[in-house]
Amino acid sequence: MKLNINERIDDLGINNLKIIQNKEYFCFGTDSVLLANFIKSENSNNVIVDLCTGSGVIPVIISAKKKYKKIFGVELQEEMYYLFERNIKLNKLENKIVPIHSDINNISKIQDYVTNKTGSNKIDVIVCNPPYKIIGTGFNTSHTVKTIAKCEINCNLEDVLKVSSKLLKSKGKLYLVHKPDRLTDLLVLGRKYNLEPKEIKFVYPRVNKKPSIVLISYIKNGGNETKILEPLIEYNDDLSFTDEMLKIYGMNSDVKLSDTNKNV
């Protein structure tokens, strides 16, 4: 596939799947990969929707690792949506992943797409790696596409939870990744929209470091029991991946921090 200026193709290390990225836009990171692996979907009839999908890395990973009937990805930004469409074609996933060019708040449009492709508006699983930064908290970039991907400009955390609650069937599941300092918001807003937090997993760059991200699952109209899962440590002291990270990425044991270009 022909690449445009500032584009590259990254190998996901799974079933020869690849992702086109533009370095001037938002490029996916560890959080997206961990979130895609965190979700549970063991039913081949499940309908999955990825909100704020960006270039589509989460649907592409899910397509290789989970059971499902159809995966939908919702993306508002035209530049990122264009990458998403190309990534579906690059990986020959046209029969598995459906792109939706839309604001996530356009619930009726999302439901129409799901109904047209599956015969029902029933959604079993929603996954989202939302913008993390609250407007006015210091993040600055010269590129609008990157700003919108990182900052709560077109949607905020409450939008994600409200929309997910409206879209999900009763007992449907929502999976989110976010920053640990937003944990109170994640819990309070979830319960506000009848999304009961069920599992929480903190991710640490290394032992004795602060957690960098938190993975959280919800069940719509679920009971009030929450489990704190075993933490995930990304790197050993020598900056090589831990065994759990190696398993997630499908890498060998000699991968070091310098190979993954992470900042821990």
Alpha carbons 100 and 102: distance in angstroms, whole number: 6
Tens-level pLDDT at each residue, the chain (264 residues): 789 899 999 999 888 999 999 988 888 999 999 999 999 999 999 999 999 999 999 999 999 999 999 999 999 999 999 999 999 999 999 999 999 999 999 999 999 999 999 999 999 999 999 998 887 665 555 558 887 888 888 899 999 999 999 999 999 999 999 999 999 999 999 999 999 999 999 999 999 999 999 999 999 999 999 999 999 999 999 999 999 999 998 865 444 444 444 332
Q: Which DSSP string do the residues of 66-92 spell out, in sequence order?
A: S--SEEEEEE--HHHHHHHHHHHHHTT
Tokens 């400009």, located at residue = 153
Host H or E run for residue 201: strand 195-204
Fold (topology level) of 29-233: Rossmann fold (3.40.50)
